Chain A
Amino acid sequence: MRNLSASETAYRRLRQQAEAKLAPLKDKPLIWIGTATCGKAAGAIEVREAFKEELAKKGVEARVLEAGCMGHCYAEPLAVIAKPGFPAICYGKVDEGLVKRLVDDFLLHDDPCYEFALVALETNDFFPTFSDFPRGVYEEKIILEDCGFIDPEDIDHYIARDGYVALAEVLGTKTPQQVLAEIKAANLRGRGGAGFPAGVKWEAVAVQTEKTRYVICNADEGDPGAFMDRSILESNPHLVLEGMLICAYAVAAQRGYLYIRSEYPQAIRRVRTALEQARQRGLLGSSILGGNFNFDLGIFAGAGAFVCGEGTALVNSMEGKLGLPEHRPPRLSTAGLRGKPTVLNNVKTFAYVPLILRRGADWFKQTGTPGSPGTAVFAMAGKVANPGLAEVPMGTTLRQLIFEVGQGLAGGKQFKAVQIGGPSGGCLPEAALDLPIDFDSLQEAGAIMGSGGVVVLDEDDCMVRIAHYFLKFTQHESCGKCTFCRLGTKQMLDILGAITRGEGTLADLETLRELAEDVKAGSLCNLGGTAPNPVLTTLKYFYDEYRAHIEGKCCPALMCPDLIAYYIEPLKCSKLCSACVGSCPVEAVYTREDGLKAIDQEKCVKCDNCLKACPVEYNAVVKLSPPSLLQEKEGRGR
């Protein structure tokens, strides 16, 4: 065995302390509660208190700990119970009743209540683990591996699970060039959206003559629906800090920042605690692990504008200027924060770094595709049965992601499209489902990896409205500096709006496409450079739906209020029930002389209440598009 370097020896002491401190935890049952923002929203704090109360009442000795997000947001609040002699078991949708049963049956009487268990976390003979589920077959957790299973507010949990071992080894045995070489060999690509190779970026900073350098972690996470960066910072902050430390060593930076949006108070709090604890253990600050490497980190709470996630805007906002993007070059690697060479990477990008150095570039490249090694983290939402965070190998197909990991569509509906990459991404149809997802394949299809947001759309979603919905977000978030984005997105939005009202023309469609292409090509920054993607992809893949709105004044998905009419089928209406009448906020539903219900179209505001109110056994309320179908129906009704 080789001799340990000084920093590895220093690390070993930390490790022994951590293990000694955590050892007693293994004697008593441990209850982990997922208290990231998602868990809290579902009532995790109440569950935590209920456990504490119940344990005290029954006099059971067990420890209640908080963990981060385990990625199964559909089943929050989540609790994991690790009782000596049993595999650790995860329970979903925990409420007070279940808390009582678990304490009583499991902790007191050794019955793990399998009927309420979601999954076991360790292989055993009784209950399936994640890898036994279809979801688990496709999932491969690398950066989310420890999320939810360590206490993010106690550095010793991270250290006891190999945390900071990579840093110690890097400082003790590797030159900065060797670290750069390893990251380049791993072909780690930036997870903030564009997929730029991190090693190349770092090297561009490392070779600068200017010696003051910065490392910044981009945790602005402005995409609506994206929450994986928050999740990682809330669940395993030290993984990101260790990645930043290793980067700082590789590029010889002295100072770094985490730019976290101020809407993430819990992430900020947990990172702050993590920084304090790392400093206290000699893992941050001067003379890290007793050597001569000095680096310190601070938090910058961003004001939360979407555009501030763009590198140059982010730097401007950190310098106290307006958060507006700038023309590049110069790139941040030559002139970034305060004009100094700066590395800017996403939270996830940094999170891979310690793992790559722990296990090697070859290990990293075993997962994913040759061009995009590693995993991708997706936040699935929309009409999917199991929304939540999922980490899958790059190259997984959209079909596997949506139908296996996400368990298909909710409510047995028909798949229509998937918007991937957040509002700057693209909307892909059924035909693209077998596309292996990586940075390059998505780009070719007109979408982007972006923040990893995946919104699943079904037959009830109108593609014109979806394009309008996403563009409305980017248009609203445009900083307004450059002509194409400020005015171009507005004009596009107005055209889309007119189409959803049945006021569009085929010439408008041509203008829309041309304008979308020009905004993409002509904008100053990538907000405008990507904002047209939802429009261009829906035009490309769902052109007929646009035409139906224009030529037939018809919304095939029955979603555009101006192009639909509500109608009560006389043959289905029961006469005796007046659920619809009562549900209407504007008294448009009335009872005809013959007892049947009908709708006064003049009054109807298309709120959908009557359709929802009509009992399923009748299902008498229907939507018609185009509204002119009413005359036909009513003619026949008479």
Chain B
Amino acid sequence: MNKVKLFIDGRELLAPAGEKLLWVALENDIYIPHLCAIREEQRPSACCRLCFVEVEGRKRPVTSCTLPVREKMMVKTRTPAVDRLVRTAFELLLSDHRLNCGKCPKNRACALQRIARERGLKLKPGRFKALGREFPPIDESTGAFAFDRSRCVLCGQCVHADQQVVKVGAIGFSRRGLDRCVSTFTGVKLADSPCTRCLLCVEACPVGALYPL
């Protein structure tokens, strides 16, 4: 395979041409915050807006999960502009995330906690008010796992596992705007959906929205 030489934060790296920058960085132990990226997805959804980097020759930070690496690409993962966008996106996500890490099954293994740790951010909405929205009750109907929408960050990892990996189609995205959510086809309980309890979605969830019972 064709390899290209690029620089991330001054480190010279070799990577397969066309590979997305995010994966090249992660493979080389260079951390870039990310929630929604799925390596095998042809067209990344690029919806979490956390994986920004700066690339020489581009005016604005770009999302690394969508950026194919090129020969001689010069990348910086930490610049004031990048840090600012990441902080804002992170605080926005936390403003709509029920924060009670102590009682969360994902405590210490949560992707949000990792981002906070790596980027020196507080696990708080910061400048923003918590939206404190009402969410439907936790769905434990399958008996095997639980779905708590108040912790969901809409990254789409579970939907990918369900629709693309096991091809079951029990869950998907529905509604628009602030109401956008992961749900079963008509909003029925998971037990009444085609769910096979394979638990791949639970494994895929980077936060404490889906967890085994």
Contacts and interface: CB of A to CB of B under 8 A. Distances in A.
B35 to A, nearest CB: 9
A487 B96 contact: yes
A421 B176 CA distance: 24
A515 interface: yes
Contacts of B180: 479-481, 486
Contact of B88 (A327, A475, A477, A514): A514
A522 B52 contact: yes
Contacts, number: 91
Contact of B89 (A305, A480, A484): A484
A483 B48 contact: yes
A497 to B, nearest CB: 11
Contacts of B95: 487, 491
Interface in B160-194: 173, 175-180
B176 A524 contact: no
A518 interface: yes
B122 interface: no
Contact of B92 (A322, A479, A484): A484
A58 B128 CA distance: 72
A13 interface: no
A294 interface: no
Given A327-B44, A482-B47, A521-B61, A488 B178 contact: no
- Most B Cβ at <10 Å: residue of A480, A484, A494, A524: A480
Contacts of B129: 491, 494
Contact of A481 (B45, B96, B131): B45
Contacts of A17: none
A481 B85 contact: no
B157 to A, nearest CB: 15
B127 A480 contact: no
Interface residues of B, number: 34
Contacts of B89: 483-484, 518, 522
Contact of B177 (A480, A494, A514): A480
Contact of B176 (A479, A488, A491, A494): A479
> Interface SS of chain B: helix, strand, loop or mixed?
loop
Interface in A465-487: 475-484, 486-487
A484 B179 contact: no
B88 A480 contact: no
A278 B63 CA distance: 46
Contacts of A475: 177-178
B92 A521 contact: no
Contacts of A488: 88, 92
Given A483-B92, A483-B93, A484-B89, A523 B177 contact: no
A491 B45 CA distance: 23
Interface residues of A, number: 28
Contacts of B177: 475-480, 486
- Most B Cβ at <10 Å: residue of A483, A486, A490, A494: A483
A178 interface: no
B43 interface: yes
Given A475-B177, A479-B180, A480-B178, A491 B92 contact: yes
A487 B92 contact: yes
A478 B180 CA distance: 10
B113 interface: no
B66 interface: yes
B12 to A, nearest CB: 26
B49 interface: yes
Nearest to A510: B127
A322 B44 CA distance: 16
A482 B93 CA distance: 10
B43 A524 contact: no
A484 B176 contact: no
Contacts of A491: 92, 95, 128-129
Contacts of B48: 482-483
Contacts of A490: 131, 178
B84 interface: yes
A481 B47 contact: yes
B152 to A, nearest CB: 12
B108 interface: no
A326 B44 CA distance: 8
A476 B178 CA distance: 8
B127 A522 contact: no
A392 B94 CA distance: 48
A415 to B, nearest CB: 34
B60 interface: yes
B17 interface: no
A519 to B, nearest CB: 8
- Most B Cβ at <10 Å: residue of A326, A478, A482, A494: A482
A591 interface: no
A483 B50 CA distance: 9
B146 to A, nearest CB: 23
A494 B95 CA distance: 12
Contacts of A476: 177
Nearest to A307: B176
A175 interface: no
B55 interface: no
Given A515-B88, A524-B46, 9 more contacts: A322-B173, A475-B178, A476-B177, A483-B89, A484-B92, A487-B96, A518-B85, A521-B61, A524-B47
**Top 7 closest pairs, chain A to chain B, by CB:** A480-B180, A487-B92, A327-B46, A518-B88, A480-B177, A483-B49, A511-B127
5 contacts: A475-B177, A484-B89, A518-B84, A522-B52, A522-B89
